[in-house]
Structures are given as structure tokens and as C-alpha cells.
């Protein structure tokens, strides 16, 4: 449906949608790039996709072009007239919800099994990711395809031992598999953000047995709350944890960033 469609730059000008920094607005106008992002989750024809922050609708159009149905939630009411036009063109395949993605009851609005695809506002990106990674498992969504600042993307996929490895890596990797699917240069956005971006693609994996998600969350909060300290000091904040280290073959003199995801899973299982 993008063939012959009005250029996004004109849609933005016609509706007076100058980007607002407070809403994390950096728009992508390049249709080829948008099509490449929409292709990351795999074939979407006939599926319902959940998009957060459609803005003037560039990524939304690319998703509709794949044959998907799209449910999109946008907080900036200025974008609604442009999205209403797109709804008309999409003939029933686009539904826009006016509101804050942090507030909506996603499962009730979208149903189970939807891929989530979003060029996220940076100021709510991590909060939304942690919400999607938390809660019951398997999750209601089937995959996440999300734009982040590159540095945040590197923290999501980080392996043990490096400076990027921490709570976000463990939250993303203990029951899911994330990868960096694409790097995106600052110049691809209007206006360009200060830093480079990357698109993460993440699919759920089976949840390890016997692990309470709240326990692994508290454990990593304690361990990385003082990441320069040895575990025997940082884990004092987690009742019972110190006693479990030696039976699991984990030296209490190690620091949080040297433990593998499997180590955290084993420790959380012992404490669950
Ligand atoms: N998807 C468009 C694109 O790729 O060009 C716009 C991306 S822009 C980085 C982020 C969009 O998210 C903006 O349209 C902004 O208004 C919207 N937004 C910001 N906070 C939001 C929230 N809490 N809930 C829903 N949308 C939000």
C-alpha cells in the first residue's frame, strides 16, 4: 500500500508533526530501511502485530505492506489524524489506540501470539522491555523487534565478563534469546539522535524449571547493585544466597559480572 503513497515528509508537514524531544520522537522516513526493519520478525502476512509509538506511521506502513494487521498505540494526540488517514487506506487492517503504552492492558487489546515491533521512544524503551520480559511465561507476545540506543542493545545481548553484562542481560537471556538484528546510523532519523541505534530481535525460550522470576530479579539486583564488590559482600543483601554459593561451586570471591546466566539460574533455583 506504500506504492504511490504520499511521502512521509509531506505527511509530517501537512499535519504539523515536528518531532518533540520529550516524547522521544526521532522519525525514520526511509522506506527501504523501514521495510528491512519490518522484515526482521519473519513473515507477518495475516498476523496481528503490536506496534508502540507509530508517530506519523512510517513503520506502520511498512508493517501493513507485509500483509499484517497492526494494532498501534500512540501517546501523541497530534499524530492521530495522520494515523486515521492510514486506517482508511488500510481497510480494516490498522487499529490505533490513543494512549500510553505503559498503561494499556495489552493482552485484552491485542490477544495472544502477536509479534511486537517498535521504534521505541528511548525514554520508555527499557521500562517496556522489562515489562514484556517479566510476568508469566511463555509470554503473550511471540517475538520482540525493538529499536534501542546501541549501547542499550549491547547491554541486552552482553555475555559474562564484559562491562555491558548486568541485570538487563540476565533479564533478557535467562528465558529468551536476544540478538542484534541491525545497526542503524544516527543519520537515518529525523532529527538525528546523539547516539547510534540498533534493532534487537528477541524470541522467548522455555523457562528453566523451578526458578521464581521474582527471585532471579532480586538476586541480580543484589549482585549488580555493588558490581565492583565480591559476591560474599554484595550478596549479603539477599538472604540465604551466601550459603548456596559453595554447594554450587561458585567462589564467593568472584564478582557479579563473572557469573554465567546458568550460574544465576542455578542460584535462583536454590533460593526459589
Ligand atoms: N514509529 C515512528 C518511526 O519509526 O518513525 C516513530 C518513532 S519515535 C522514536 C517514538 C514514538 O513513540 C513517537 O511517536 C512518540 O510520540 C511515541 N511515544 C512516546 N512515548 C510513548 C508511550 N509511552 N506510549 C505510546 N507511544 C509513545
Atom 1 of ligand 1: nearest residue by CA position: 54
Residues of the chain falling short of pLDDT 50 = none
* pLDDT at site 3: 64
Atom of ligand 1 nearest to the CA of 123: 20
* pLDDT at site 21: 87
Q: Helices (DSSP H) in the chain: which residue ranges?
A: 8-14, 31-39, 58-65, 80-90, 106-110, 122-133, 150-157, 167-173, 213-225, 231-234, 241-245, 261-271
Q: Which CATH number fits domain 213-271: 1.10.8.100, 2.60.40.10, 3.40.50.2300, 3.40.120.10?
A: 1.10.8.100
* pLDDT at site 2: 59
* pLDDT at site 272: 92
Q: How far is the CA of 22 from the centre of ligand 1 (A)?
A: 10
CB atoms within 10 A of CB 21: 10
* pLDDT at site 105: 93
Q: Which CATH number fits domain 8-204: 3.40.50.300, 1.10.10.10, 3.40.367.20, 3.40.50.150?
A: 3.40.50.150
Sign of CA dihedral 12, 18, 20, 25: positive
* pLDDT at site 1: 60
pLDDT tens digit sequence for 177-219: 999 999 999 999 999 999 999 999 999 999 999 999 999 999 9
* pLDDT at site 22: 86
Ligand 1 site residues (CB inside 6 A) read: 23-28, 52-55, 58-59, 73-76, 79, 100-102, 119, 121, 124
Domain ranges of the chain: 8-204, 213-271
Atom 17 of ligand 1: nearest residue by CA position: 53
Q: How far is the CA of 147 from the centre of ligand 1 (A)?
A: 11
Q: How far is the CA of 173 from the centre of ligand 1 (A)?
A: 26
Burial class (CB in 10 A: 0-12, 13-18, 19+), 208: middle
Amino acid at each position: 500500500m506504500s506504492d504511490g503513497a504520499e511521502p512521509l515528509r509531506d505527511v509530517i508537514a501537512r499535519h504539523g508533526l515536528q518531532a518533540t524531544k520529550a516524547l522521544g520522537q526521532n522519525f525514520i522516513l526511509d522506506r527501504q530501511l523501514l521495510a528491512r526493519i519490518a522484515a526482521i520478525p519473519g513473515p507477518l502476512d495475516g498476523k496481528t502485530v503490536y506496534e508502540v509509538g507509530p508517530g506519523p506511521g512510517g513503520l506502520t506502513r511498512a508493517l501493513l505492506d507485509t500483509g499484517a494487521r497492526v494494532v498501534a498505540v500512540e501517546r501523541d494526540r497530534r499524530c492521530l489524524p495522520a494515523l486515521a488517514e492510514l486506517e482508511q487506506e488500510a481497510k480494516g487492517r490498522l487499529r490505533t489506540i490513543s494512549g500510553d503504552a505503559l498503561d494499556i492492558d495489552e493482552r485484552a487489546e491485542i490477544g495472544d501470539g502477536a509479534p511486537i515491533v517498535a521504534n521505541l521512544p528511548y525514554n520508555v524503551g527499557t521500562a517496556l522491555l522489562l515489562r514484556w520480559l517479566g510476568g508469566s511465561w511463555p509470554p503473550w507476545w511471540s517475538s520482540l523487534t525493538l529499536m534501542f540506543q546501541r549501547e542499550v542493545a549491547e547491554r541486552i545481548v552482553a555475555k559474562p565478563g564484559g562491562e555491558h553484562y548486568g541485570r538487563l542481560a540476565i533479564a533478557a537471556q535467562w528465558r529468551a534469546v536476544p540478538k542484534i538484528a541491525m545497526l542503524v546510523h544516527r543519520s537515518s532519523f529525523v532529527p538525528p539522535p546523539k547516539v547510534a541505534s540498533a534493532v534487537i530481535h528477541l524470541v522467548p525460550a522455555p523457562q528453566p524449571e523451578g526458578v521464581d522470576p521474582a527471585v532471579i530479579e532480586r538476586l541480580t539486583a543484589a549482585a549488580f547493585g555493588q558490581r565492583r564488590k565480591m559476591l560474599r559482600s554484595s550478596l549479603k543483601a539477599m538472604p540465604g544466597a551466601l550459603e548456596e554459593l559453595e554447594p554450587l561451586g561458585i567462589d564467593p570471591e568472584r564478582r557479579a559480572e563473572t557469573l554465567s546466566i546458568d550460574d544465576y539460574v542455578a542460584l535462583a533455583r536454590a533460593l526459589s
